[in-house]
Amino acid sequence: MSTIIQEKNNILLFKKDYLECPIKINCQEKKYENGNIFFYINYECKINNAHPFSNSKNLLNHVYGDIIKKNSLTYEIIKKLMMKQTLPSLENICYSALLSTNFNKTILNQNINKINIMDVFNDNITFKFDIKVTEILIANIKSIYKIDFILSNQTLNSAHPFYNNKFKKFKNGYTIVKDNISEELINYLMIPLDKLSIYSGNVDPNQYYGQLMKMGVLLSLTNSKNYNKTLMKIITLFWD
């Protein structure tokens, strides 16, 4: 039994070449008797090559929507997606534009989390690594997060989230611009695995942590032009 707490609607327009794909988004926030709250996201559209998921067979399973558990991270993702307009800004530009400059860079803080992640299909297979997050202020204007995965010369196995998939080239880390969403992502990456189940809903904490790492990759590659497309892809990572 669930109760609708609130409901929001938005329309996003995606373009590719001469094609346009408007997507109507309906998001219901539902609370269950056990206290858990979930976002029910529904998309209404006519699919063409301008659709964000058109080039991925895996994502086509999510073309009509997703259900994700509400926590402080998914709240920020949904809040941004449901904005009537996502304006280009420094928080959304590709990080490489900042890293390639000669601006002064100041390290603000640095944190390390020791991870021992388990293969969700075989708990006898594990992978240990450290994640080091360094917050760097660029030209006293904007902060970025430099995320390093310290693998100690290990070969990836099936427990590692980037094993044998397109994310493998990011096995040593990536850099993302700091904003409300990436700040929450970093907070979650610093949570011990044995505490993550509080936030992961019905998703195994090991799998959820892997999805957090993949989310970071998507954020590292985004910019103001494809930010909403990235948000929709991120939501598919956390379907419950």
Residues 141 and 40 in one domain: no
Q: What is the rounded CA–CA span in Å between residue 172 and residue 43? A: 35
The neighbouring-strand residues paired with 155 are: none
- Tell me: the pLDDT tens digits for 49-61? 999 999 888 898 9
Quick one: pLDDT at residue 92?
45
Query: Over the chain (240 residues), what is each successive 10-residue block's mean pLDDT?
Result: 93 92 97 94 94 89 95 96 64 52 84 96 95 91 92 93 94 93 97 93 94 96 85 94
Question: At CA 183, angle to CA 182 and CA 185, rounded to 5?
Answer: 60
Map residue 140 onto helix, strand or coil. Answer: coil
Domain annotation covers residue 59:
yes
Judge whether 110 lies within some domain.
yes
Is residue 179 domain-resident?
A: yes
Domain annotation covers residue 230: no
**Of 56, 81, 106, which residue constitutes the final position of a domain?**
81
Contacts (Cβ under 8 Å, ≥6 apart) of 66: 41, 235, 236, 238, 239
How many structural domains are present in the chain?
2
pLDDT of residue 226: 85
b/e string for 79-88 if b means 16 or more Cβ within 10 A?
Answer: ebbbeeeeee
Nearest to 41 by CA among 180, 237, 187, 188: 237
Domain that holds residue 58: 2-81
> What local confidence, expressed as pLDDT, does residue 25 receive?
97
My answer on whether 116 and 218 are in the same domain is yes
The last residue of one of the domains, among 81, 110, 125, is 81
Question: Could you tell me if 33 and 95 lie in one domain?
Answer: no
pTM over cut 0.75: yes
* Residue 212 pLDDT: 98
